[in-house]
């Protein structure tokens, strides 16, 4: 297989509840990537509008009002601006957006990522696992893979990382790289380090068990505006198919790497893991319980 170098940036970005300010930051990251001749930039979850300000206020009237007012259709005014830069720099950009769906006069919104390329919007993917965010966002219902000139990309959003079925389906659909937009918190419950530990452990497991590249763009800093605040972990990074961190920005900045994308996947599925190919070696006939819905059905006495 011939060498194919791909240049990738993953933004580690503070996000505000101000689309205009966030868009300025997004354009700044685009221009930094352009100066380094990047092929792809991945941006954080809801980086256009800002992420929900804290778990306690998902049901807060003002927060829901903010997202209903600030959500945009896809394509929309902000994607049009980003597309002009993508065309100028021949760049692909994955951006997190609160998406206004064409349902109910704008009453339905999704936590989405949109891939924007030199010719405009390439595709949209909606967060599948919304946890308690469903007070604001509707769940997505499709596992997506996008085709680009340099790779097949499998987009995921934050909590979707925790469900190995999602990234495995993307691998089976031919994805060579998982592109993750997130606003991952540093803490969690009684363990102040749980967020950081889970981010690190699950990320490496996803890369290794699918033998794919993983690009993660996380927000960083302290979320503003709610009844409490949460520190966002940052640590935007590029992981190899062996789970190695090949580029990372722990604080505000750009994790940037030049990788041999296809060769990295091939090596992981041959020589680098003792010849173990984790796609080939599956036993799908044994996995039927994964899709068994009966465990969710109420049991009558």
β-strand pairing of 152-157 with 146-147: antiparallel
Q: Looking at the predicted structure, is the pLDDT value of residue 103 above 90?
A: no
Q: What is the pLDDT of residue 63?
A: 84
In this prediction the pTM is 0.94
Residues 36 and 47: their CA atoms lie apart, in Å, by 22
Whether 180 and 217 have beta carbons less than 8 Å apart is answered as: yes
Residues 66 and 57: their CA atoms lie apart, in Å, by 12
Residues 251 and 54: their CA atoms lie apart, in Å, by 20
**Average pLDDT estimate for 189-194:** 81
User: How sure is the predictor about 1, in pLDDT bands with cuts at 50, 70 and 90?
Assistant: very low
DSSP tally for the chain: helices H, then strands E: 6, 14
First to last CA, the chain: 61
**Average pLDDT estimate for 168-176:** 98
pLDDT digits (tens, 9 = 90+) for 231-275: 899 999 999 999 999 999 999 999 999 999 999 999 999 999 999
**Average pLDDT estimate for 112-133:** 95
Average pLDDT, the chain: 92
pLDDT digits (tens, 9 = 90+) for 47-90: 999 998 665 656 678 888 899 999 999 999 999 999 999 999 99
Q: What is the pLDDT of residue 188?
A: 65
Boundaries of every domain in the chain: 5-291
Residues 167 and 161: their CA atoms lie apart, in Å, by 8
User: How sure is the predictor about 301, in pLDDT bands with cuts at 50, 70 and 90?
Assistant: very low
Q: What is the pLDDT of residue 53?
A: 64
Q: Which CATH superfamily is domain 5-291 in?
A: Carbon-nitrogen hydrolase (3.60.110.10)
Residues 6+ apart with CB under 8 A from 206: 161, 164, 167, 178, 212, 214
Q: Determine what percent of the chain is predicted with pLDDT higher than 70.
A: 92
User: How sure is the predictor about 106, in pLDDT bands with cuts at 50, 70 and 90?
Assistant: confident
**Average pLDDT estimate for 194-198:** 92
Q: What is the pLDDT of residue 296?
A: 80
Q: Looking at the predicted structure, is the pLDDT value of residue 285 above 70?
A: yes
Q: Looking at the predicted structure, is the pLDDT value of residue 169 above 80?
A: yes
User: How sure is the predictor about 298, in pLDDT bands with cuts at 50, 70 and 90?
Assistant: low
């Amino acid at each position: 297989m011939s060498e194919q170098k791909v240049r990738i940036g993953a933004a580690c970005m503070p996000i505000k509840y101000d689309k205009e300010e966030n868009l300025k930051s997004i354009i700044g990251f685009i221009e930094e990537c352009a100066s380094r001749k990047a092929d792809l930039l991945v941006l954080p979850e809801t980086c256009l509008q800002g992420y929900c300000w804290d778990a306690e206020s998902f049901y807060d009237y003002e927060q829901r009002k903010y997202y209903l007012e600030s959500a945009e259709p896809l394509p929309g005014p902000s994607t049009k601006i980003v597309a002009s830069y993508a065309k100028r720099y021949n760049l692909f950009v994955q951006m997190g957006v609160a998406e206004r769906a064409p349902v109910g006069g704008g009453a339905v919104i999704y936590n989405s990522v949109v891939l924007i390329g030199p010719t405009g919007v390439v595709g949209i993917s909606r967060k599948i696992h919304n946890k308690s965010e469903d007070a604001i966002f509707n769940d997505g219902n499709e596992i997506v893979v996008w085709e680009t000139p340099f790779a097949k990309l499998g987009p995921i959003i934050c909590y979707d990382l925790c469900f190995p079925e999602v990234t495995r389906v993307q691998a089976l659909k031919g994805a060579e790289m998982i592109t993750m937009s997130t606003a991952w918190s540093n803490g969690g419950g009684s363990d102040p380090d749980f967020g950081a530990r889970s981010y690190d452990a699950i990320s490496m497991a996803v890369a290794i068990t699918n033998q794919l590249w993983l690009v993660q763009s996380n927000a960083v800093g302290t979320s503003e505006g709610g009844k409490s605040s949460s520190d966002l972990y940052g640590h935007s990074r590029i992981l190899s198919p062996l789970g190695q961190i090949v580029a990372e920005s722990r604080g505000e900045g750009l994790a940037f790497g030049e990788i041999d994308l296809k060769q990295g996947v091939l090596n992981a599925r041959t020589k680098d893991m003792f010849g173990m190919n984790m796609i080939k070696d599956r036993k799908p006939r044994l996995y039927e319980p994964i899709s068994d819905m009966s465990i969710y059905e109420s049991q009558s006495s």
